[in-house]
Amino acid sequence: MNLYIFSNSKNIEKFFEKIKKSKDYTLNILPAKDIKSVEKKAKPASLIYADISSYTETERPKILRQLYKLNDFTFGIIDPKNTIKDTAELFHNGASDYIGRDLFKDPLMTKRLKSVLDFKKIEVADDKYKKKIATEFIISGTDWSSVKAGKEYTFTFMFIELDNRKEIKELGTDHFKKIMATFESYIKHIIAPLNGKVWMWMDFGGLVLFPFDGIKCDAILTALRLFLNSKILSAEHLHVDLLLSYRIAVHIGNTAYKSRGQTGTLISDTINSIFHLGQKFAEPGTFHLTDEAFAFTPEGLEDCFIPAGEYEGRNIMKFKTIL
Amino acid sequence: MKIKSNLINLATRALAESANVQTMTHFANELIYDYDIYKRTGFRESMAIPNRDAASQIVNDMVSAGLFNHFITLLIRIHTEGYQGHKTQIAHLKEIIKEIQDMGFIYDQHNKMFVEDPDVRRTRNWGGLLQGHEYFLSFLRLDIVGNSKLVRKYPENIIKATYDDLRIMVQDAIEKRNGRIWNWEGDGGMVAFYFANKNLSATLSGMEVINELFIYNKMKCRLDEPLQVRIAVHSGICDYTEDMEELMKNDVIKQTIEIEAKHTQPNSLTISSSVCSSFESALYNCFTLIPVDARTKYCTYQIKLEQ
C-alpha cells in the first residue's frame, strides 16, 4: 500500500518511523505544497495524510475542500496542534483518519493503518479476480433463510475426506461406524457457528455447504482449524490408537440448492469440480483452495498458501506443508 | 459452600436409620481424626446417645469442617462396598445425591468424589480437593517470550489487550477440558488438570493454544511482531494448597517451570517423558523427541511451515 504524507514538520519522519520499516507500506513524505497536485503525484488507491499544521489558516479550508473531492484516495488528517474544532465534519466529508496532538506524540503503529483501511473496506488494488467474479455471484447470504430449494446460488463448498481408510476398516465394523459418526459430529460442531451444513456424506467424508455473502469467506478459517486440529480431534474423541488424516478442499461456486438426501438428481459442474479436486488432485493430509476461494482468504492467511498448479482450468493454492 | 438445611436433615435421617452410634462414629473418624462423639455432643460416656442426636452432631460437624460432600462420598463407598466386611445399606442415598447435584455438583465415578459442575461454577479446587491432601495432577505452564522487551516497546493498552487475547485462548482451551488456572501473572501462568485423562487434557490444551496462537499471529496480533509463548506439560504428586507460595515449592511444579524455561523453544510445547509415555503410540509418534540427557527425552510440538 502506498502512503503519501504532505508535511513540512520536522517531526513527521519520526512519527512514521515504524511505518517506514514495515514491508506492507511504501512511505513517501512530500512537501506540504505538493498536495495541490496530489492526483498527479500519488498513485491511485493510495493512502494520503495531510499535516494541517503545515498550512496557513487561509490555506486550510482550501486543502480540506480539495481532499473532500478526491475519488481515488483514502485520506487522513494530521493535526499536531489540535487546530481543527469539528473533527466529525472531516469524517462526514470522507476522511478515514484523524491524528490529533496526543496521538502525534508517539510513532504511528501499522495496526492503525490497518484499521483505517478496514474502516474503508479497502480491497487490494490489484485484486482483479475478486472484482471480476463478483458479477457472477448469486448471493445466498449468511444463513439459510432466503435459500429456496431448486434455485441456484453461490455457496462456499468444503470437501473433506479421510485418507487412512484401510487402517480404519481394519479396526472392524463397530469401530468404523463409531469413528465416522464421531468425525461427522465433530465437523457439524465446528461448522455450526457459520451455519454450515453437512450436505453430502458418504463412507469416508463428503461435502459441507456454507452460505456465501459475497464479502468474506470465514469458512476458510474454519477449514484451517479443522486441518490444524486433526491430531487433537483424533486423540480426544476417537478412543482408538489412530490419528485421522484427511484432505480438505474449499471452493466458491454456484449450484442449485436441494436439501440433504435430495441431491441425487443434481447436475452441477461446481460439485463435480470440488469432488475431483478433493479426490483426484489433493494429496493425503493437505488443504487446498481454488482461485475463487483464495480471493476471499481472510487477511493474514494468504502467505500460508502456495501455488499448487492448475486443475480442470483452475489455479489451485495449497496450504504450506507443516514440517 | 452453604448446605441447605433440608439436605442436612435428610443426611441426618439417612445416617440415623443406617447405623448405630458406634458405627457412625467410626464413619466420622475416617474424615476427622480422633472424632469423639461424646465430647462433641456433650453427653457423658456413661449415657447412651440417641441415634438421631449422634447423627445430627456428625452431619453438622462435617458441614462445619467443609467435609459434607466428602462424607456423602464415604457413605456412597460404604453403601457399594460395605464396611469392615459387612454389607451396609445407607438409606435415602439417591435423594441425597440428587440434592447435591441440584447444588451444582457431579459425582465423578472414576475419582469417586463430588466435583463442581463446570457449567455452574469453576473454583480452583473443583469443589473437591482438600487442603494438605496429596493428589496426582498434570500441569501446564505457559510463559510469554520476551515479556520485558514487549512491555518496554509497546504502550500499556496494547500489551494489556494482547495479553488478554492470550488469556482468552488459554481459558478456551483448558476450560473445555476441565482444567483450572492456578496462577496467572499477566505474562503467563500455571494450569492444573485433575480429572479424566489429565495428561492428555493438559497436552491437548497446550497443542490447541499453539494452533490458535498461529492463527492469531497471522490475523489478529496487535503487535508488530508475532506473540510468542513457551508451554510445558508435566505431571506428578502435589499437596493441594490455596497458598501459591507454598505450591511453588512443590517439586513437580518446579520441574514443570524448568522444562518450560530451559527446554522449550518459542512457540512450542514441550511434554515431559513421564507424560508422553502415557500416550497411545499414534499420538506419541506425532511429536518430535528432544534429548535432555543420556536417559531423558522430552516430546515437542510446534507449527512450522515450509519456507
H, E, C per residue of chain B:
CCCCHHHHHHHHHHHHHHCCHHHHHHHHHHHCCCCCHHHHHCCCCCCCCCHHHHHHHHHHHHHHCCCHHHHHHHHHHHHHHCECCECCCCCCHHHHHHHHHHCCEEEECCCCEEEECCCCCCCCCCCCCCCCCEEEEEEEEEEECCHHHHHHHCCHHHHHHHHHHHHHHHHHHHHCCCCEEEEECCCEEEEEECCCCHHHHHHHHHHHHHHHHHHHHHHCCCCCCCCCEEEEEEEEEEECCCCHHHHCCCHHHHHHHHHHHHHCCCCEEEECHHHHCCCCHHHHCCCEEEECCCCCEEEEEECCECC
- Per-residue pLDDT, averaged over A212-232, amounts to 95
Q: Do the bridges between strand A152-162 and strand A47-51 make them parallel or antiparallel, or are there none, so unpaired?
A: unpaired
What's the CA gap between B92 and B17, in Å, rounded? 9
Kindly report, residue by residue over B237-286, the tens digit of the pLDDT.
999 999 989 999 999 999 999 999 999 999 999 999 999 999 999 999 99
Tell me how many degrees the CA angle B125-B130-B134 measures, rounded to the nearest 5. Answer: 100
Kindly report, residue by residue over B61-117, the tens digit of the pLDDT.
999 998 999 999 999 999 998 888 888 899 999 999 999 999 999 888 878 889 888
Task: Output the pLDDT for position A170.
Answer: 92
For the CA atoms of A237, A243, A244, A248, what is the dihedral angle to 10 degrees?
110
% of residues, chain A, pLDDT over 90: 64
**Position A135 pLDDT exceeds 70:** no
Task: Output the pLDDT for position B10.
Answer: 96
Which comes out higher in pLDDT, residue A132 or A273? Answer: A273
Q: What is the mean pLDDT of chain A?
A: 90
Contact A246, A158 (CB under 8 A): no
Q: B99 Cβ partners below 8 Å, 6+ apart?
A: B4, B6, B7, B10
Among A100-114, A239-253, A267-281, B195-209, whose mean pLDDT is lowest? A100-114
Tell me, what DSSP letter sits at residue A322? B
Nearest to A299 among B219, B222, B281 (CB): B219
Task: Output the pLDDT for position A123.
Answer: 47
Within 10 Å of residue A67's Cβ, how many Cβ atoms? 21
Q: Which chain A residues are closer than 8 Å to B224 by Cβ?
A: 18, 22, 109-111
Q: Which chain A residues are closer than 8 Å to B207 by Cβ?
A: 231-232
ipTM topping 0.85: no
- Per-residue pLDDT, averaged over A91-116, amounts to 89
| Residue of chain A whose Cα is closest to the Cα of B216 | A300
Task: Output the pLDDT for position B108.
Answer: 85
Q: Identify the band that residue A45 occupies on the pLDDT scale cut at 50, 70 and 90.
A: confident
What's the CA gap between B27 and B41, in Å, rounded? 16
Kindly report, residue by residue over B165-191, the tens digit of the pLDDT.
999 999 999 999 999 999 998 788 999
Within 10 Å of residue B296's Cβ, how many Cβ atoms? 12
Nearest Cα neighbor of B299 from B199, B223, B232, B224 is B232
| Residue of chain B whose Cα is closest to the Cα of A110 | B224
Q: What is the mean pLDDT of chain B?
A: 93
Among A16-25, A170-179, A193-202, B96-105, whose mean pLDDT is lowest? A16-25
Nearest to A232 among B208, B218, B222 (CB): B208
Task: Output the pLDDT for position A299.
Answer: 86
Rounded to a whole number of angstroms, the distance from the CA of B102 to the nearest CA of chain A is 28
Q: Identify the band that residue A121 occupies on the pLDDT scale cut at 50, 70 and 90.
A: low
What's the CA gap between A284 and B5, in Å, rounded? 62
Rounded to a whole number of angstroms, the distance from the CA of A86 to the nearest CA of chain B is 27
Task: Output the pLDDT for position B165.
Answer: 95
Predicted TM-score (pTM) above 0.90: no
**Position A125 pLDDT exceeds 50:** no
Task: Output the pLDDT for position B218.
Answer: 93
Task: Output the pLDDT for position B110.
Answer: 79
Which comes out higher in pLDDT, residue B115 or B210? Answer: B210
**Position A23 pLDDT exceeds 90:** no
Kindly report, residue by residue over B109-148, the tens digit of the pLDDT.
878 889 888 888 889 999 888 889 999 999 999 999 999 9
Nearest to A109 among B224, B282, B283 (CB): B224
What's the CA gap between B10 and B60, in Å, rounded? 12
Task: Output the pLDDT for position A134.
Answer: 62
Kindly report, residue by residue over B23-58, the tens digit of the pLDDT.
999 999 999 989 999 999 999 988 899 999 999 999
The residue with cell 486543502 is: A63
Q: Which chain B residues are closer than 8 Å to A297 by Cβ?
A: none
**Position A124 pLDDT exceeds 90:** no
- Per-residue pLDDT, averaged over A168-183, amounts to 93
Query: Residue B64 burial (CB < 10 Å; 0-12/13-18/19+)?
Result: exposed
